[in-house]
Amino acid sequence: MKLSVIIVNYKTYKLTKNTIISVLETVSMNNTEIILVDNNSNDGSLEKFRNFFSKEITDSKIKIIVSPENLGFAFANNSAIKSAKGTFILLLNSDTIVKNDTLANCVDYIENHDNVGALGCKILLPDGTLDKACKRSFPNPKNSFYKLFDLFNLNKNSRSNNYNLTNLDDDGIYEVDSLVGAFMLIRKETMDQIGLLDEDYFMYGEDIDYCYRIKEVGWKVIYYGKSEIIHYKGASSKKQKSKLLYEFYRAMYLFYNKHYKNEYSIITRIAVYLGIGVLFLVKLFLNIFKKQ
């Protein structure tokens, strides 16, 4: 088995179905498996998947794992990783559409570059603009400060101040710090070396944390801008659940505490913790006035 595609579903039957179809239509299933994890949706999704993809399930092209409870995105992916048979494992969001040749091109690149531990492609939003999270630096205090106060234009050619690497070619191929979990192709050998995703992260941050661990042991993380997918992210104008906002800012705290806590002074540490807390409260307040 060359490729294992892992997709986590949580109450998004239509989106997930379209994602699976796009995979089936764009890659040879002779050496590919799809592992679908249902994160305790309890909305009839499982029955619909089993009916719609009955042939693929019978032919073992699609394997379904049912989680008894929703313990987070990292936990759900880990449950699939444990049974994955592929030499390469793709973590793919359930709200994406894979375009022609994307999987073949990405697998071919990582297969022929032995020092690459993880690879991500160009990710487009439905309006055709780039999902900036698909290539980024690690959120250290310096570039986080520059991003927060939109100070990147003070030094346009600096990668150290540029969290989203907006000065780099969207169509290029180069090493980055971090990819996004919506599309992350990982070498199984790399996973065997560093272990599973950190389940302390419930929904956000596990992708940045995993890329940090990949690079920490000497593997490269590559942005491959020659192929693309579409990512149907929730519109920023819509109201978010307070739980998701909390998990987003909790992920910031977890990442800093795990990887940067001992690299900076106590003053910086306090400033970061206060900054995360203030940002969360402001976002929570503004969220009240957003449309449903």
pLDDT means over runs of 10, the chain (292 residues) = 96 95 94 96 94 96 95 96 98 96 97 98 96 93 73 52 85 97 98 98 95 98 98 59 88 93 90 89 83 60
pLDDT at residue 149 in the model: 64
Measured between alpha carbons, how far is 12 from 5 in angstroms, rounded to an integer?
17
| Cβ–Cβ under 8 Å, residues 230 and 126 | yes
pLDDT at residue 11 in the model: 92
Strands (E), the chain: 3-9, 32-38, 62-66, 88-92, 96-98, 116-124, 173-175, 183-187, 220-231
Helix or strand holding residue 244 (H, E): helix 242-259
Measured between alpha carbons, how far is 41 from 69 in angstroms, rounded to an integer?
9
pLDDT at residue 240 in the model: 57
Structure tokens at 61: 């092209």
| Cβ–Cβ under 8 Å, residues 183 and 93 | yes
Helix or strand holding residue 1 (H, E): none
Neighbours of 154 (CB within 10 A): 10
Neighbours of 170 (CB within 10 A): 17
Amino acid present at 56 = E
| Cβ–Cβ under 8 Å, residues 101 and 203 | no
pLDDT at residue 239 in the model: 45
275 CA to centre of own chain: 24
pTM of the entire predicted model: 0.91
* Residue 169, helix vs strand vs coil: coil
Burial class (CB in 10 A: 0-12, 13-18, 19+), 60: exposed
Is 3.90.550.10 the CATH number for 3-231?
yes
